[in-house]
Amino acid sequence: MISLKRYQLVFATANANKISEINAILMFTPVTVVSMADIGCTDDIPETQPTIQGNAIQKAEYLHQKYQVDCFSEDSGLEIDALKGEPGVHSAYYAGNRDAQQNMNLVLTKLGRKRKRTARFRTVIALILDGKQHLFEGICEGTIRLKPSGTGGFGYDPIFQPNGFDKTFGELPAETKNRISHRAKAVQQLYDFLQVL
């Protein structure tokens, strides 16, 4: 028998673009994504954990505990091997304030001319559905360039070259990034899980 049950999931983000983007992706699943504002939540949810996964779980648990809703959250960051996984969970504020240029400069200064430049973007999605937690992870492996190149994307895109390409995320078309990115891979896993509910 075909199940007609629909699920409403609250996305733990203040970014309205992310809500409409994910609703478009999840169109053919039994899920509708709503914002925190839709449930009357304007809280600045704490992100105080030492790992990307920890922060994703913290945000989803916060909403679930306070509002008893099905919900999910997403957290991402860049991990550079020669910097022992930095900036990692500190990616957004690595140089002190949310400035992408300063963050990239700090990474390039710390790396100097080190030959080992392997890195990865990681996204973790934490879903809480019917009180059960599910984690989905997307990883995009690559290397850090010696200097920025390209103006596309955001954050560390101009210094990150994904494996298999000779261009940075800042130079590649958005469609290419959106196909191979850490975020795309994590969302695809969430999609696969929700589609068979």
Q: Which residues bind ligand IMP (CB under 6 A)?
A: 75-78, 91-92, 121, 153-157, 169, 181
User: What is each CA distance from 25 to 28, 100, 190, in whole angstroms?
Assistant: 8, 27, 10
The answer to whether 130 is a known catalytic residue is no
Nearer to ligand IMP by Cβ, of 6 and 96: the residue is 96
Q: Smallest gap, in angstroms, from Cβ of residue 140 to ligand IMP?
A: 8
Nearest distance in Å: CB 1, ligand IMP = 39
- Shortest distance (Å) from residue 171 CB to ligand IMP: 13
Count Cβ atoms below 10 Å from residue 45 Cβ, excluding itself: 18
Cβ burial, residue 112 (10 Å; 0-12/13-18/19+): exposed
The residue from 75, 130, 166, 192 that is catalytic is 75
Residue with tokens 């300063």: 102
Residues 6+ apart with CB under 8 A from 60: 12, 71, 72, 73, 126, 127, 128, 133
- Shorter beta-carbon distance to ligand IMP: residue 48 or 68: 48
Residue number with the smallest Cβ distance to ligand IMP: 155
Minimum Å distance from CB 107 to ligand IMP?
10
Give the residue with the Cβ less far from ligand IMP, 163 or 195.
Answer: 163
In one letter, which amino acid is 71? Answer: C
Which CB atom, from 129 or from 180, has the smaller least distance to ligand IMP?
180
Tokens of 37: 């504002």
Q: Is the Cβ of residue 28 or residue 154 nearer to ligand IMP in the bound state?
A: 154
The type of residue at 182 is H
**What is d(CA 84, CA 140) in angstroms, rounded to the nearest whole number?**
17
Q: How far is the CB of 192 from ligand IMP (least distance, A)?
A: 21
Under DSSP, the state recorded for 72 is E
Residues with catalytic annotation?
A: 75
